[in-house]
Structure 1
């Protein structure tokens, strides 16, 4: 069988012998909007729990539009031009409009990368486009604390804007249930102290802090609480199919519109599988998600429900930018030094997480269930050991070795990686 895994800006061919019993796990065919541009216009004309954007913006002196950073393939080129034009036509002064990259604690997006992210030269030339900096104390407004005690400090460019607008991609997220909406606010434009509080071990270890789970998910609940402290927030949500074509778009009040988008995407993203496997192959979803090993962890976590005891999990990720942040490297070094249980014990009582150590905490979940194998061409030799997993030179050879060791010819392949959530459900 010939397959292709999403890898980098293209695909990685995967050729498996015909004698294997291969189950390919992917989303059902999704509807694709015949005209993405017309779909955006229609969404803006049919708001969810809101007025048309031009009415919402009338009389406002300032507006801030949040966009996700380069790690999310949000179709900004389709969204930002129409949104900025609506604001200008509503009378919002050009100097009062800011497009803010919601980096969270990730690095800023600049130069050619920023141009790629925005996707519209007119927007770059017309309004301010800036990056959030979670470590800049003076750049944030202190809004108090949530009922759970999380300090809420948000970028003042967004928190102080008269009109607040969020854009994003709604997809499974291995901690927050689904991405987009309220998540673009926090952690997107939150202060380091806010992020490291609700990304601490006590939140991450909660059984509901998982893919496609919103009810009872402590991260989701904190994000909703933080968004509520801002007052009225509007949102444009998008959903893409496996080929990154626009399948769904809506606009409206941030909570209501995001919930509608979730209802749409969960019909496709959650795929029920009638058995568990000793050999599972997946990807990190290709560019831009597989730019770093840090982001690759999402692909490791998603298939955990279909891993049989003692399984081998093989993941392909380009890691074109290496490991990720220096703080994440430090967390991986602690994992190697302390072991899985020692690492979890060391972070269990922290009020504030160390930056990016939550990704290492999440990596331990699949490591407890399976032996993880990584295929990559992007990591430097000195970084390979920091992954904490087994590096392989060939996905095919890793699959055949797993089949030989287990004696089970059944192999599951998830070409789209973390954008699909396989769930074990007995036939």
Structure 2
């Protein structure tokens, strides 16, 4: 944390500069600084050669007939350009034919990434020319294998056939706080990443979403995490490459190995630098949706509303800036938002609690209820039309600076918390001395 300027928020592909009113008392909350891996290629090579809980990659590929590599979709800024080629080259050198190697975009129930966007996501033309790169479609029933149900909660296990049937399975991703599953990456790239819609919609039903342990940075007793672990064990042998980035989107940590062990190692690395103790709550909190690519839609923006609520004083004001360059989100999400605005928060929630399978994308609307229960939510955006703005269900503001000034005056408190990187930082309220 710091108290001096300049004050900026991540917004789109740039920064939104803040001009605070005279007398404001700002506290900037951001991740602790971590040393960059300036030789990223060497760090990745070392991770492959010195894995966690498995043999080195060069040995893993020997004798395999096929391979499937999972990559996250465009909503995660994973540096695929740094590792995909070397991973594939190692596979080919080890005897796996290039035409038996698939790179599968783990979209979950998000839209596919195609054309120029897919080129940006993969980050290396050689990869696109050498192997198949395809998107996962959770609604295509015939694309999935049925692996039964989890033992604890009976979640149906439907996994993309390309991944389930591959001789060598590798998930790649970014480890960062996730507002339901605790942390992203690892097992989450498999489910919901390449799971069927039934699996995903079960995860996002109210019995999981409203569980008090389904929160950011928590894996202990988290029902989503526990189900994900059961699913990856059911699939069988899976390995993972996990990356951690700093605010500049530069690599600061990379781990490789058995999917559960290597993911936990990355979580251990990042946890203390991401969860920031804050000795007070604030009546005015200003945050972002972490800029591009996370702030492309209002759907993703809700993550930035949820993560700081522990430091929002009840009845306070949370101001979030998000470009929303692609608008609101999916058709199903628009429908859920319209129902929220029409019905109101409590009646809307009541319609969800009896469902075994959530309607597609309505879970993000359900998550929006959490900050709305604490205080007033205000949104600054440049990317929504009039109807989309109406069904956000929050108050739209034309200026972040004016909204800050009005909030400070309204609450009679000059203190303001500023979280430039939005949901990538988790402020935790802890009174001094505790």
For the criterion TM > 0.5, the same-fold answer is yes
Residue of structure 1 equivalent to 2:121: 117
TM-score normalized with structure 2 length: 0.98
* CA deviations over 1:8-38 (Å, ceiling 9, x no partner): 0111111113411100000111111121111
Residue of structure 2 equivalent to 1:368: 373
Residues 2 and 16 in structure 1, CA contact (< 8 A), matched pair in contact too: no
* CA deviations over 1:351-397 (Å, ceiling 9, x no partner): 10000111011100000001000000011122101110000011010
Residues 69 and 101 in structure 1, CA contact (< 8 A), matched pair in contact too: yes
Matches within 5 A, 1:40-59: 40-59=44-63
Distance in 1 between residues matched to 2:220 and 2:260, nearest whole Å: 14
Residue of structure 1 equivalent to 2:87: 83
**RMSD (Å), alpha carbons:** 0.7
Residues 255 and 266 in structure 2, CA contact (< 8 A), matched pair in contact too: yes
Distance in 2 between residues matched to 1:54 and 1:152, nearest whole Å: 31
The Cα shift of 1:2 comes to 3.0
The number of residue pairs the alignment matches comes to 427
Residue of structure 2 equivalent to 1:333: 338
Distance in 2 between residues matched to 1:217 and 1:334, nearest whole Å: 28
Residues 49 and 58 in structure 2, CA contact (< 8 A), matched pair in contact too: no
In structure 2, the residue corresponding to 1:359 is in which secondary structure?
A: helix
Residue of structure 1 equivalent to 2:238: 233
Residue of structure 2 equivalent to 1:404: 409
Runs of 4 or more, structure 1, over 4 Å off, are none
The Cα shift of 1:199 comes to 1.1
1:65 to 53, 69, 76: 69
Residues 70 and 189 in structure 2, CA contact (< 8 A), matched pair in contact too: yes
Distance in 2 between residues matched to 1:199 and 1:64, nearest whole Å: 26
Residue of structure 1 equivalent to 2:329: 324
Q: Does 1:420 align with 2:429?
A: no
Matches within 5 A, 1:145-294: 145-147=149-151, 148-294=153-299
* CA deviations over 1:322-363 (Å, ceiling 9, x no partner): 000000011111111111111111100101000011101110
* CA deviations over 1:298-318 (Å, ceiling 9, x no partner): 000000000111100000000
The Cα shift of 1:263 comes to 0.3
The gaps in structure 2 that reach 5 residues or longer are: none
Distance in 2 between residues matched to 1:116 and 1:322, nearest whole Å: 20
Distance in 2 between residues matched to 1:168 and 1:156, nearest whole Å: 20
Distance in 2 between residues matched to 1:405 and 1:17, nearest whole Å: 13
